[in-house]
Structure 1
Amino acid sequence: MNMDNYILVDPLTAKPIECWKKYLRQGRISEPAKTLRLDSPIHEHKVRFVCISDTHEKLDEVLPLVPDGDVLIHAGDFTNYGDVGEVIKFNAEIGKLPHKYKVVIAGNHELGFEDGEEMNEKQLAGLNMLGITKAYELLSNCIYLCDRETKLFGLRIYGAPWHSMPGYSFFRPRGQKILHKWNQIPNGVDVLITHSPPLGHGDFNAWNKMDGILAGDVELLNTVEQRVKPKLVFAPN
């Protein structure tokens, strides 16, 4: 990628609420996504994506509720701690779904999935003994993406699990360190899957309201809007 296309750190990256208020004043507001009824017919000449996340070892409880489609996306936190049993269980459960392709990224709860992980933050959070390394190798019933892409139905799909929640796998602080990860997303990607959302998009919930922080990332927002410009972003909070 040409370095001229890279996104630079926003001066308000460490103050997400203040940053979002500034962007609101500038009119940077997107329309809510249009949703389909779950019983809508699948069109022969269209690709239907079904997006879920944060099942936390309970995918089996919602299997009957997951609508059919061409591509199932699971955007992370399919386990609680990344334990072997949890990963094996999830792999078996996702294999029962009828979708032709299943694409999965890790979330902050997939402890041990991050190769070459810095352990200091996990030790401070008391999570350093949880999870096993390379547990993603147990995922045989899906396409696992971590800073890479796959191509399905002619569409480029890229997955990146990074977030700014200290103590967990795939943590990077706001600013240059997490932007370094977003700068790896190639131009021209059609579908972008991340575990944390762009700033101001579904990232204001009760937990975040209490501590006055938005979970969304301004560098991801600018990457999506100014450089990558994907057709679809699935980024749960």
Structure 2
Amino acid sequence: MSGLGSSGTPSSSTQPSDNPYHDPSLTPRVQPHTHDPTLAWQMMRLNVEQFLKRIEPQAHDVPKPDGHIRMVCISDTHNRTDHMEVPPGDILVHAGDFTNVGLEGDVRRFKEFLAKLPHKHKVVIAGNHDLTFDLDNYDTLCKTFASHGHHDLLDAKKCRNILLDAGVCTYLEDSEVTIEGYRIYGSPWQPEFCNWAFNLRRGEKCLEKWDLIPEGVDILITHGPPVGHGDLCSSQLRAGCVDLLHTIQTRVKPKYHVFGHIHEGAERRKNPLLDLNLQPSDLHLNAYRSLPGSTAQVLKVCKTPAPTACLKLLYNSD
């Protein structure tokens, strides 16, 4: 098949033989331009069908449809939950960065915040700011962020256990849980980003983590976005992961992908709430943003390619 021009019309200038994006079976394991996500997205949006469709927001007081399960998604709250009015629902998802730098007091406040929420199920992953949750790298992170309260080596396990042992949520780290019949997988990793927690080199190192995501997952939660979706920084460069997008669209194909991380990549709306109402044959998302810098974003992998005009920030499918 030929490529698509900027208008969405076929272009004959790029032939399958010289375009590695056309046939996934012919692409290398690590995607082309994976170390330059801005260039990679420019190429991919022209030459790769994007199986995405936008979710339209609605007010949080819209009644839940009969026979549905309501999921509320939040992310990047950064210890700013004191005045956050989280709408009720059946499942709460937090896509990471619930603290500023993972200090014990921050973790404890987040635990208390979760304990007050009425949701029957609460699923949490860590993000790059939750330093003490990255046990393998905390010794290095402690030195890097000494001026942010880590001047003394904290007991990282103790900080994690404040949340993990409290019984207020299900914490996922390269692991999954089944809730109300839906398989939910969570991973905190993202490509290198200012030497924070859960950072990995682009390419093979990131792909090793994405390889752990099992097929058949209904809802995928990662802290970082895939390239091209909610990942545009104020510098106008993209921070999303090229290999994550490829993994989602060609192998895992979850019903939904929930993520956060890039604050400026989140689109602001008059109605900051999207409902995710789940039933056996359909999913409908509820991403809640109540504070500047607090954002959850959602991607949907559809059965058929979405029109170019639908390549926006939040997605759903028929």
Normalised by the length of structure 2, the TM-score is: 0.66
Query: Which of the numbers 249, 255, 259 marks the counterpart of 1:225?
Result: 249
The residue aligned with 1:42 is 64
- The one-letter code matched in structure 1 to 2:37 is P
For structure 1, the 5+ residue unaligned runs are: none
Cα distance, 1:132 vs structure 2: 4.0
More deviation in 121-130 or 196-205? 121-130
Q: What is the correspondence of 1:65-84 to structure 2 with a 5 Å cutoff?
A: 66-84=86-104
Q: What is the correspondence of 1:14-163 to structure 2 with a 5 Å cutoff?
A: 14-29=35-50, 30-62=52-84, 64=85, 66-117=86-137, 119-120=139-140, 123=143, 129=151, 132-134=155-157, 135-139=159-163, 140=166, 141-163=168-190
Distance of 2:108 and 2:141 partners within structure 1: 26
Cα distance, 1:121 vs structure 2: 6.5
Cα distance, 1:120 vs structure 2: 4.5
Cα distance, 1:35 vs structure 2: 2.7
Give the superposed CA RMSD.
Answer: 2.1
- The one-letter code matched in structure 2 to 1:32 is R
On the 8 A contact 2:123/2:170 being kept in 1, the answer is yes
Cα distance, 1:14 vs structure 2: 0.6
Q: Which runs of 4+ in 1 moved over 3 A?
A: 118-132
Normalised by the length of structure 1, the TM-score is: 0.88
Distance of 1:124 and 1:73 partners within structure 2: 29
The residue aligned with 1:204 is 232
Q: 1:154 to 1:61 in 2, by over 3 A?
A: same
On the 8 A contact 1:111/1:131 being kept in 2, the answer is no
Q: 1:35 to 1:173 in 2, by over 3 A?
A: same
On the 8 A contact 1:113/1:132 being kept in 2, the answer is no
Q: 1:131 to 1:36 in 2, by over 3 A?
A: farther
The residue aligned with 1:173 is 201
Give the match's secondary structure for 1:138.
helix
Task: Give aligned pairs, total.
Answer: 226
Q: Deviations over 1:79-107 (max 9, x none)?
A: 11111111011100111111111111001
Higher RCO by CA contacts (8 Å cutoff, separation 6 or greater) = 2
Give the match's secondary structure for 1:14.
coil
Cα distance, 1:33 vs structure 2: 2.1
Give the match's secondary structure for 2:212.
coil
Give the match's secondary structure for 1:93.
helix
Give the match's secondary structure for 2:45.
helix
Q: Deviations over 1:57-93 (max 9, x none)?
A: 111221x2x1111111111111111111110111001
Cα distance, 1:173 vs structure 2: 1.0
- The one-letter code matched in structure 2 to 1:133 is A
Distance of 1:227 and 1:218 partners within structure 2: 14
On the 8 A contact 1:82/1:132 being kept in 2, the answer is no
Larger Rg belongs to: 2
- The one-letter code matched in structure 2 to 1:169 is A
- The one-letter code matched in structure 2 to 1:148 is S
- The one-letter code matched in structure 2 to 1:84 is E
Q: 1:122 to 1:223 in 2, by over 3 A?
A: farther
Distance of 2:154 and 2:134 partners within structure 1: 10
- The one-letter code matched in structure 1 to 2:82 is D
